[in-house]
Structure 1
Amino acid sequence: MSAPEKQHTLLGILFVIGAACCFATMDTTIRYVGAYFSVALVLWARYGLHAAIMTVWIALSRAHGFRSANPMFQIARGTLLAFSSTMAFAALRRMPVAEFTAITMLTPVVATLIARVWLGEPVSRLRWALVVGGFVGALIVVRPGSGIIGWAALLPLAAAFSNASFQIMTSRYAPHENPFTTNFYTGLTGMTIATPLLLASVADPIDTLLQAPAEQVGALAAIAVLGTAGHLLLIMALGKAPASTLMPFQYVQLAAAALAGYLAFGLAPDGWSWLGMAVIGVCGAASAWLNVRAAADRHRPVSAVQVDTVAD
């Protein structure tokens, strides 16, 4: 590898680590504002500001446009991701950030399972072992019957299944779309779905924002900025290095989530949680690496979401 290639690879790795830190900080911030704002308001702010940021980005860039080659793909993809975010935001009101992140990191493992059931794709013994191992890791984290997390663990699990479906769909259609245009429609679709939910909520969203402390409103805006920045960093990372090289570094998010949760709330995973997170991290990273390698073998371009394991 030449010196310029090494520099590009290093920059790509730094971008992915930056994205992981953005997502971990975003999830911690969501848990922080959960005591003040409804899930509908957080969801609307997350995607509304995301759409606004990408509108400005595309308007200032001559290389990207708003026209989509497949609008139905954008709607279906955005709907799946919005559902994932809804489950994730609801979960973060009820469970620690690190344990939540660990369960959502099952996404590559779940994608293998869905590809077998939905698409009939062959699954090797190694992949089945990784699927089983990932769910064993989740059971170690949750420890059913212990009362540590409880039924709330079903929420990030639902997010992982929805996000896995989102990734499978995106891996097949995204190569025909501009990634920045797709990122714009991600925000637009999410905002469109969140708007009626927000209007149907009991509390008046305008009064809620006006009465909320300034730091809470600022945190709400930070959620959108962090989510948008994380996805943009992933896109830029893939322009610097192969996905198979970058993907394992996405699991830095597990450590970042544990650190952020401890600094913000004084919550640290116990020994069993660390063990379960390690099992999920190994199985998830291996599954994602195999998925990326399989896409490369089929000579299909790899999109940003194939290294994006969290529903943010």
Structure 2
Amino acid sequence: MLASCGFLAGVAALGRYAGLEGFSVLQIVFLRLLFGALSLTPALAVRGVSMLRTTHWRLYAVRIVVGLVGMTTWFAALKLVTVGEVTSIGFLTPLLVTLGAALVLREAVDGPRWGATLVGFLGALIILRPGLQEVSLGTWVALASAVLMATSSLLIKTLAGRDDPDKIVLLSSGVQAAIMAIPAALVWQWPSAFMWLVFVGMGAMGMLGHITLTRAFRATDASVVMPAEFARLPFAVALGYALFGELIDLWTWVGAGVIFAASIYAARRERRLARAMARAPMP
């Protein structure tokens, strides 16, 4: 999950750079998906067409549509607000995943973890500060992306119990790239040699980020894995400052810190419970 944070923060930085260079969100999403899918062709060559077969196409179809809309709104937000702000608002995603894991996937979520989730939402309110500052269009788009990404994460968790993680990423990205080809062609702007490198890097990092994310979901409950996503903020802020000279305000750091503290508490408590269960004698 920590590796996924680093890769996806890199995608955010390169996506904002491409947006500031005047490229359409539709083209950015298409090239991100295209090069991401192509980066898995070596695995396809080794493992053969079995990576293209699945019996869960209905579930894939829902995940593909939700993930595609979520990715489009995410890149749109990156054109409007800073990398750090989009990342901070994205912290709502794991909180929503915890709720969804309990209500949809029927995973066990006890009282202390619910309490940590509520504290996390308080941190999100500190970041957004509704009523104290105007909520911009970019913020609303980022919020929509967080909800869609949470839904997509729950679908990935469901698929991870049925299909190979690499297959999930390859099939999803391949179909999404095919869907985005037509709208991207309508707004196509020919990239320079350097921008081709940017898009290739964005695709490769995005693919690695989602492969490691899928493997993390396969390892344990979604509500346990997702708190580690808050490590993405230091990566995002460092890249935003290095590439664009962007900084986020004090209250955003405070809110992110509250969310992070709540998540660390939940993760450490979950680890203690797992160790206690492992030491308990078998009946």
Give the TM-score normalised by structure 1: 0.75
- Tell me the amino acid that sits aligned with residue 64 of structure 2: G
Q: Distance in 2 between matches of 1:246 and 1:130?
A: 14
Work out whether 1:271 is the aligned partner of 2:271: no
Task: State the Cα distance separating 1:270 from its structure 2 match.
Answer: 2.1
1:252-285 C-alpha deviation (Å, 9 max, x unpaired):
2111111111111111122111101112223455
Assess, with a 3 A threshold, how the Cα gap between structure 1 residues 74 and 120 changes in structure 2: closer, same or farther.
closer
> Unaligned regions of 5+ residues in structure 1, if any?
1-15, 295-312
Asked whether the 8 Å contact 1:85–1:159 carries over to 2, the reply is yes
Task: State the Cα distance separating 1:236 from its structure 2 match.
Answer: 6.1
Tell me which moved more, 256-265 or 173-182. Answer: 173-182
Task: State the Cα distance separating 1:28 from its structure 2 match.
Answer: 0.6
Assess, with a 3 A threshold, how the Cα gap between structure 1 residues 285 and 27 changes in structure 2: closer, same or farther.
farther
Quote the residue 1:221 is aligned against. 200
Assess, with a 3 A threshold, how the Cα gap between structure 1 residues 291 and 220 changes in structure 2: closer, same or farther.
farther
Quote the residue 1:168 is aligned against. 154
- Tell me the amino acid that sits aligned with residue 13 of structure 2: T
Quote the residue 1:43 is aligned against. 29
Task: State the Cα distance separating 1:87 from its structure 2 match.
Answer: 1.0
1:187-237 C-alpha deviation (Å, 9 max, x unpaired):
1122133123224x4x3x1xx11xx43322321221111101222344567
Asked whether the 8 Å contact 1:49–1:224 carries over to 2, the reply is yes
Quote the residue 1:309 is aligned against. none
Quote the residue 1:259 is aligned against. 238
Aligned with 1:29 (options 5, 14, 21): 14
Quote the residue 1:179 is aligned against. 165
Q: Distance in 2 between matches of 1:217 and 1:185?
A: 23
Equivalent position SS for 1:232: helix
Work out whether 1:18 is the aligned partner of 2:3: yes
Equivalent position SS for 2:53: coil
Equivalent position SS for 2:85: helix
> Unaligned regions of 5+ residues in structure 2, if any?
274-283
Quote the residue 1:108 is aligned against. 94
Task: State the Cα distance separating 1:146 from its structure 2 match.
Answer: 5.5
Asked whether the 8 Å contact 1:248–1:285 carries over to 2, the reply is yes
Task: State the Cα distance separating 1:41 from its structure 2 match.
Answer: 0.2
Quote the residue 2:115 is aligned against. 129
Q: How many residues align?
A: 272
Q: Distance in 2 between matches of 1:196 and 1:106?
A: 32
Work out whether 1:92 is the aligned partner of 2:92: no
Q: Distance in 1 between matches of 2:252 and 2:211?
A: 31
Q: Distance in 2 between matches of 1:155 and 1:288?
A: 29
Asked whether the 8 Å contact 2:159–2:168 carries over to 1, the reply is no
Aligned with 1:60 (options 46, 50, 65): 46
Q: Distance in 1 between matches of 2:160 and 2:271?
A: 14
Q: Distance in 1 between matches of 2:119 and 2:225?
A: 22
Assess, with a 3 A threshold, how the Cα gap between structure 1 residues 175 and 242 changes in structure 2: closer, same or farther.
closer
Q: Distance in 2 between matches of 1:285 and 1:79?
A: 32
Task: State the Cα distance separating 1:152 from its structure 2 match.
Answer: 1.5
Q: Distance in 2 between matches of 1:135 and 1:218?
A: 38
Equivalent position SS for 1:176: coil
Give the TM-score normalised by structure 2: 0.81
Asked whether the 8 Å contact 1:84–1:163 carries over to 2, the reply is yes
- Tell me the amino acid that sits aligned with residue 241 of structure 2: Y
Q: Distance in 2 between matches of 1:246 and 1:131?
A: 14
Assess, with a 3 A threshold, how the Cα gap between structure 1 residues 55 and 290 changes in structure 2: closer, same or farther.
farther
Asked whether the 8 Å contact 1:79–1:193 carries over to 2, the reply is no
Q: Distance in 1 between matches of 2:270 and 2:168?
A: 21
Task: State the Cα distance separating 1:101 from its structure 2 match.
Answer: 0.8
1:20-45 C-alpha deviation (Å, 9 max, x unpaired):
21111110110011022101000100
Aligned with 1:140 (options 110, 126, 133): 126
Work out whether 1:230 is the aligned partner of 2:209: yes
